[in-house]
Structure formats: structure tokens, C-alpha cells
A and B are shown apart, each in its own frame.
Chain A
Amino acid sequence: MSPILFWIFSALMLGFGAATILNRNPVASALSLVVSFLGLAALFFGLDANFIGVIQILVYAGAVMVLFIFIIMLLDLKAEQRRQINIPALLGGVAIVVAFTAQLVTVIRSYKAGNEPFAAITPNLPDAHNIGMTLFANYNLPFQVIGVLILVASIGVVVLSQRELK
């Protein structure tokens, strides 16, 4: 991936990520989040991780965001827009962010391996095959357990929605 594209997509991702939290309007936030996810997916594509990039779009930008949007559509949007800015909370938030960033920077500075370039990855393995082999050969049991967990959750939803109206 050319560095120009990397910077464009990173800027897109970070800019819209910031817009997600800065927007007062929930719908605008949700849409900014979609664009942020798309930027992240483009970065995955640039790393030749096509499969993860596609899954990023399919699951997050597609399924999850559509559900978010669906819920937002059913909510009252006015309450969030009318809320006043709380000055102490804002100051506290900024202080925590500054402290966290400072800590992050000092840790990364002192971490030697973080400053060295990676050895070139030898690509051209079909990554869908890799992920399939890892999931179903090495981590088969955890995968099945997660499957059962999701099944239980979906049965729970069916049970809740079958409740009769009084």
C-alpha cells in the first residue's frame, strides 16, 4: 500500500472516529462510525488481509451498524441534542485523555521493538484458508463453545419476543 493511501485512510478513520464522539446528533455519530470502519477496512486491504477487511465491512459497517441505526430510528432523538455541556465532566474527561496519552507515549518510547521496522511478511497465502485452518483445527473447541453461547442468546431473544401482550 502506498504511504499516501495509508495516510488518507488513517486520517479518514481518525477524523470520523472523532466526529463519532463530538457529534450531538446520534444519527450523525452512527454514520461517522460507519465511515471510520470503512477506513479501517481499507487499512486491512492495504496489508493484504483481504478476508479481515471484508469481514470488517460485512460485520461492523454492515450488520452491526444497521442494527445501531435501526435502534436509533426507534428512539427519541431530541433528548441527546438538548443536553447542555457539563463543564466539570468535560474538564475531567480532558484531563484523563491527556494523562492516558502521556502514559501511552512514554511506554511506546521505552519499548524498543516498537521502533524497529518489521521483517517483510511473505504474503500470497490465501488468508481465508489460514483463518479457517486456525479456527477449525487449533481452536475448534472454543469456537464450538462460542457457537453454543450465541445459540443460547438467540433462543433467549425468541423466548422474550414470544411473550404475549396483556
Chain B
Amino acid sequence: MNFIDLLKRIPEICKTPETLPLEGKKLILDFVTWLGSLVGIAVPPWVLTLVNILVVIVAIIAVFLIMFALMSVWERKILARAQNRYGPNRVGPWGLFQPVADGIKMLTKEDIVPRNADKVVHFIAPIVMLVPALILPVLLPYGRGMVAIDLSVGILFFFAVGAGSEVAIFLAGWSSRNKYSILGAMRAIAQMISYELPLVMSAVIVALVAGTLSPTGIVEAQGGYQFGFFPNWFVFTPWGFVACVLFYFSALAESNRSPFDLPEGESELVAGHLTEYSGFKYALFFMAEYVGMFAINGLLVTLFLGGYQAPLPFLTFIPSWCWFFIKLAFLAFSLVWVRATMPRFRIDQMMQFAWKFMLPMSFAALFSAAAWHYAGRGLLGWGISAVLVAIPYFALGYFCFTRHHSADNRRYLFSE
């Protein structure tokens, strides 16, 4: 094997875009072997294993950080368009280098630690926030055979790791010794605990129907087409649609996005747990929030939108990993769209929405999914399950969200 052979393989690999990432990884491994033969030693297997792991980790982190950088421009562009203005357009073509300028600004800012703060905890909070956020993406299947760790309990592991961000927010809020910080952290934790229930419940439904907890298995269960053109995605079943919507809004709340951004509501809490953070530590929180947001929406794509499956049979010529990122980009756009158009919730409205509407609806979706399964997963099951989710939906809307009493005789409860 020599260097020319390796170079010759590059155009060959590019001919089949479907397997391009996997073949690229093999090429890098062969390149390492060639480097070893250049020095005159056989590369030991543990080095190859290490390179194999590192290539995947570096690729995933690089992709997600580039997505974070692009998203920070794109989000401001979309928001600007929604508000009838231009948005960032000074740095580079169409303002594309804005994240570079932001990064330099963040790095050179003074890092302030309050005098009374718990210095150690104040320092580790951003790290505890970022590490789980960077672990989450390795569990997602990006394309056929493209999953970094194919864990048999992948879905559960995703939620287990995701819970780490709650601890990080608590650390940040508590260590700052600031009443706005601790109030923001308390709100954030209350919100995340409340919305984790519908989030996990709607994922559980999918796991039950697919019969597996592995993300790859769930994507494979959504393969194929009904009547030759209609994709078998779970979002196109009545229970799946309900679960998908519940998951989408819970994911919004989990990643502290507007309209659920009460923990950092500027008008009441300054910036919540982020109040005492400046410079690069603030940037780390920001980065963790965005990477976590991409990861949880990637999970939504995996669970409901068919993962890397193409939406129509004749579109399968586009490689599977492109489909994953196309769907993710669509979701990212919708997140910004929601942020631009929805006002912020009030805290009691938000808690009521989670406990009185979303949680019962997720149980209703579970029953509906069971009915769908036992009615043979066909059109009959579709109809029955549609009825089974429609009844609770209207009942809950009537009993919980229609005002049956006037505002002045509202009584405040102990829990408020």
C-alpha cells in the first residue's frame, strides 16, 4: 500500500455518497497504517482502535459545533426577518462569520467571579453543563450503520445523561450566591422535572410500539412505505402525532427555549442562573444549551420522523445521513419560528400545562397506541386510535382550560 493508492481511493469513495462517511473513516485508518509503515513499524491494534474512536468523536463534536455556530447566525437572521429588519450582515458574506466575531468577543471578555461565590462550584458548573450535552449526540443514528454507540438501552441512556444538565443549572444558580440566580435555578429545575414526564412518556410509547429501546432499532421499525408511497413514520399515526407534538413542546421546555424560557426571563429574573456568568463560561452555557437542543431534536427525528429514512421512495437517491440533517434543520427552523411568534408563558400557566394537559395526554396516547397495535396496525387501528386521542383532547380542553369561574373569586392554593 502506498500514498498514491490512498489518494486514488478518494474519488472512488465520493462516487457512492451513501457510504461516504464510513468509507472515509476506513481511509483514515488505512492512512494511519501507512504512516506506521513509513516509520517502519506495524501499528499496534490499540492505536487503530483509539484512532477509530477519536475519528468518530471528533467528527460528531465538529459537526455539532459547526451547527451551533451556523445556528447562532441563522436564528438571528430568521428573527430579524420575522421582525422586518436585516439582522447580522457586517462580518463576512451575509454575516456568516458572525460566530467567529462572537467567539473572539466572548474569549477576550473579563471573567468575573463574585466575591462571595463558591469558587469551585462556580467553575465546574459550565463544565458539568457541557459534558452531558456533548455525550448526547453519540447515541443518535445519523445514517445506515452510522451510529457511534449502538446501545441496547439507548433511549433511556439519553434521558439519564440529559438529567445531568439539571444538576449543572442547580450548581450555577446555587454557587452564584445571588437571589436572582437561585430563583432562576429553582424555576429551571421545577420546569425540567415537570416536562421530563411527558417527554419520557412519549418516548416510552414509541419504544413499546417498536419493541426496542435502541435508537437504530426504532428507526428501522419506521422503514418501508404504506401503499408504495406513504412512509411508515410514527408521526403519521394518530397516537404518534400526539406523542410527537408532546415531545416537541417538552423538548422546547427541556432546552429552556422560548416560550418556556422562564428560568432566564429577563424582565423578572435578570438572566436566572446565568446572571453571574460572563465571558467564556457564559459561552459554554450557551453552547451546551444549543448542542443539547440539537441532540433532543435529533432524538425527535429518530423517534417520530423516521430518522434517516427518506420521506418518499423515489427520494432514496439522496444519502440517508443527509435526510437526518435535513429533518434536523427543518426542526431547528421551526424552533426559531416558535420563538419569534409566541409570547412567554406565566409560571403557573406553564406548570398547569405540563401537569394538567401534557401528562394526561401522554397517557391517552399510550392507550391509543395500544389500541392501534391490537387492531392490527391497519386502517381500522388508525381510526380507533384517532378517536381515542380525540376524546381526551377535547375533554381536557373543556375541563381544564375553559374558564368556569371569574378572575376575582380565584383562590390561591398552598402549592402556589
Which B residues are in CB contact (< 8 Å) with A61?
A: 160, 163-164, 167
Contact indicator A164/B170 (Cβ below 8 Å)? no
Which A residues are in CB contact (< 8 Å) with B156?
A: 51, 54-55, 58
Please report the C-alpha to C-alpha distance between residue A62 and residue B199 in the assembled complex, in whole angstroms: 15
Count, A-B residue pairs, CB within 8 A: 80
Is A27 in contact with chain B by the CB < 8 A criterion? yes
Contact indicator B414/A164 (Cβ below 8 Å)? yes
Given known pairs A128-B213, A164-B413, the reply for A66 and B153 (CB within 8 Å) is no
Lowest 4 A-B CB distances belong to which pairs? A62-B163, A161-B415, A57-B160, A58-B160
Binary per-residue interface labels of chain B (182-203) against chain A in the complex, 1 for a CB within 8 Å, 0 otherwise: 1001100110010000000000
B170 to chain A, nearest CB (A): 5
Is A149 in contact with chain B by the CB < 8 A criterion? no
Which B residues are in CB contact (< 8 Å) with A66?
A: 163, 166-167, 170, 189, 193
Which A residues are in CB contact (< 8 Å) with B174?
A: 27, 73
Identify whether the interface residues of B are mostly helix, strand, loop, or mixed. helix
Which A residues are in CB contact (< 8 Å) with B164?
A: 61-62
Which B residues are in CB contact (< 8 Å) with A165?
A: 412-414
Binary per-residue interface labels of chain A (47-78) against chain B in the complex, 1 for a CB within 8 Å, 0 otherwise: 00011001101100111011101100100000
Please report the C-alpha to C-alpha distance between residue A62 and residue B193 in the assembled complex, in whole angstroms: 10
18 pairs of residues in contact across A and B, judged by CB atoms under 8 Å: A34-B167, A50-B151, A50-B157, A54-B157, A55-B156, A57-B163, A61-B163, A62-B159, A65-B167, A66-B193, A70-B189, A73-B186, A128-B152, A128-B213, A161-B415, A162-B414, A162-B415, A164-B412
In the complex, the chain A residue whose C-beta lies closest to that of B158 is A54
Interface residues of A, count at CB 8 A:
27
Which A residues are in CB contact (< 8 Å) with B152?
A: 50-51, 126-128
Is B405 in contact with chain A by the CB < 8 A criterion? no
Given contact pairs A128-B213, A165-B412, enumerate 4 new A-B contacts (beta carbons under 8 Å).
A57-B157, A69-B170, A161-B413, A164-B414
- B387-416 contacts to A (CB < 8 Å): 411-415
Is A163 in contact with chain B by the CB < 8 A criterion? yes
Please report the C-alpha to C-alpha distance between residue A27 and residue B415 in the assembled complex, in whole angstroms: 25
Given known pairs A31-B171, A162-B415, the reply for A51 and B163 (CB within 8 Å) is no
Identify which of B121, B160, B173, B193 gathers the most chain A CB atoms within 10 Å of its CB: B160
User: Which A residues have a C-beta under 8 Å from some C-beta of B?
Assistant: 27, 31, 34, 50-51, 54-55, 57-58, 61-63, 65-67, 69-70, 73, 126-128, 160-165
Which A residues are in CB contact (< 8 Å) with B170?
A: 66, 69-70, 73
In the complex, the chain B residue whose C-beta lies closest to that of A162 is B413
Which B residues are in CB contact (< 8 Å) with A62?
A: 159-160, 163-164, 166
- B53-83 contacts to A (CB < 8 Å): none
Binary per-residue interface labels of chain B (132-168) against chain A in the complex, 1 for a CB within 8 Å, 0 otherwise: 0000000000000000000111001101110110110
- Report the interface size class on chain B: 20 to 34
Which A residues are in CB contact (< 8 Å) with B193?
A: 63, 66-67
Please report the C-alpha to C-alpha distance between residue A154 and residue B49 in the assembled complex, in whole angstroms: 49
Which A residues are in CB contact (< 8 Å) with B167?
A: 31, 34, 61, 65-66, 69
- B279-320 contacts to A (CB < 8 Å): none
B167 to chain A, nearest CB (A): 6
Contact of A163 (CB < 8 Å), options: B159, B173, B190, B414? B414
Contact indicator A58/B159 (Cβ below 8 Å)? yes
In the complex, the chain A residue whose C-beta lies closest to that of B207 is A128
Which B residues are in CB contact (< 8 Å) with A70?
A: 170, 186, 189-190
Please report the C-alpha to C-alpha distance between residue A127 and residue B212 in the assembled complex, in whole angstroms: 12
Given known pairs A50-B153, A58-B156, the reply for A73 and B185 (CB within 8 Å) is yes
Please report the C-alpha to C-alpha distance between residue A54 and residue B414 in the assembled complex, in whole angstroms: 36
Contact indicator B153/A51 (Cβ below 8 Å)? yes
Contact of B163 (CB < 8 Å), options: A31, A63, A73, A161? A63
In the complex, the chain A residue whose C-beta lies closest to that of B193 is A66
Please report the C-alpha to C-alpha distance between residue A126 and residue B152 in the assembled complex, in whole angstroms: 7
Please report the C-alpha to C-alpha distance between residue A100 and residue B180 in the assembled complex, in whole angstroms: 47
A93 to chain B, nearest CB (A): 28
Which B residues are in CB contact (< 8 Å) with A69?
A: 167, 170, 189
- B315-365 contacts to A (CB < 8 Å): none
Which A residues are in CB contact (< 8 Å) with B166?
A: 62, 66
Please report the C-alpha to C-alpha distance between residue A128 and residue B207 in the assembled complex, in whole angstroms: 12
Please report the C-alpha to C-alpha distance between residue A62 and residue B254 in the assembled complex, in whole angstroms: 14
Which B residues are in CB contact (< 8 Å) with A127?
A: 152
Identify which of A51, A57, A58 gathers the most chain B CB atoms within 10 Å of its CB: A58
A68 to chain B, nearest CB (A): 10
Please report the C-alpha to C-alpha distance between residue A126 and residue B214 in the assembled complex, in whole angstroms: 11
Please report the C-alpha to C-alpha distance between residue A161 and residue B23 in the assembled complex, in whole angstroms: 59
Please report the C-alpha to C-alpha distance between residue A44 and residue B174 in the assembled complex, in whole angstroms: 31
Given known pairs A73-B185, A162-B415, the reply for A54 and B163 (CB within 8 Å) is no
B380 to chain A, nearest CB (A): 27
In the complex, the chain A residue whose C-beta lies closest to that of B355 is A158
Which B residues are in CB contact (< 8 Å) with A164?
A: 411-414
B370 to chain A, nearest CB (A): 14
B6 to chain A, nearest CB (A): 33
A142 to chain B, nearest CB (A): 22
Please report the C-alpha to C-alpha distance between residue A51 and residue B152 in the assembled complex, in whole angstroms: 8
Please report the C-alpha to C-alpha distance between residue A111 and residue B186 in the assembled complex, in whole angstroms: 50
